[in-house]
Amino acid sequence: MSCPPETAAELTLEGVSWGDGILHPVSLQLGAGRVLGVLGANGAGKSTLLRLIYRFHTPQSGRVLLDGQDIHAMPARRVAQRVAAVLQEQPTDFALTVSEIVALGRAPHRRALSGPSARDAHVVEHALARLSLLDFAQRPFGTLSGGERQRVMVARALAQEPGLIVLDEPTNHLDIRHQLEVLRLVRGLGATVVASLHDLNLVQGFADDLLVLQGGRALAFGPVARVLTPDLIARAFGVRAHPRGPARFDFSLFDEMQQETPA
Structural domains of the chain ordered from first start: 5-91+169-253 (3.40.50.300)
Q: Could you say which residues of the chain have pLDDT below 70?
A: 1-6, 89-93, 112-113, 245-248, 254-263
**Which residues are paired to 214 by β-bridges?**
217
Supply the pLDDT for residue 184: 87
| Bridge-based pairing state of the strands 217-223 and 209-214 | antiparallel
Alpha carbons within 13 A on the beta-carbon side of 199: 17
**Which residues are paired to 241 by β-bridges?**
251
**Which residues are paired to 61 by β-bridges?**
17
Nearest C-alpha neighbor of 195 from the set 2, 49, 43: 49
Cβ neighbors of 226 (< 8 A, separation 6 or more) are none
Residue 157 carries which side chain, given as an amino acid letter? A
How far is it, in rounded angstroms, from Cα 204 to Cα 246? 8
Supply the pLDDT for residue 171: 83
By CB atoms closer than 10 A (0-12, 13-18, 19+), residue 201 is middle
Exposure string for 57-91, b = 16+ CB within 10 A, e = fewer: bebeebbbbbbebebeebeeeebbbbbbbbbbebe
Q: How far apart are the first and last CA of the chain?
A: 70
Find out whether 50 and 22 touch, Cβ atoms under 8 Å: no
How far is it, in rounded angstroms, from Cα 236 to Cα 245? 20
Contacts 24+ apart (CB under 8 A), 222-228: 224/37, 228/200, 228/203
By CB atoms closer than 10 A (0-12, 13-18, 19+), residue 119 is exposed
Question: What is the 8-class DSSP label of residue 137?
Answer: T
How far is it, in rounded angstroms, from Cα 255 to Cα 238? 11
Phi/psi class of residue 45: alpha, beta or left (left: φ > 0; alpha: ψ in -120 to 50)? Answer: left
For residue 154, give the H/E element and its range: helix 146-159
Find out whether 42 and 225 touch, Cβ atoms under 8 Å: no
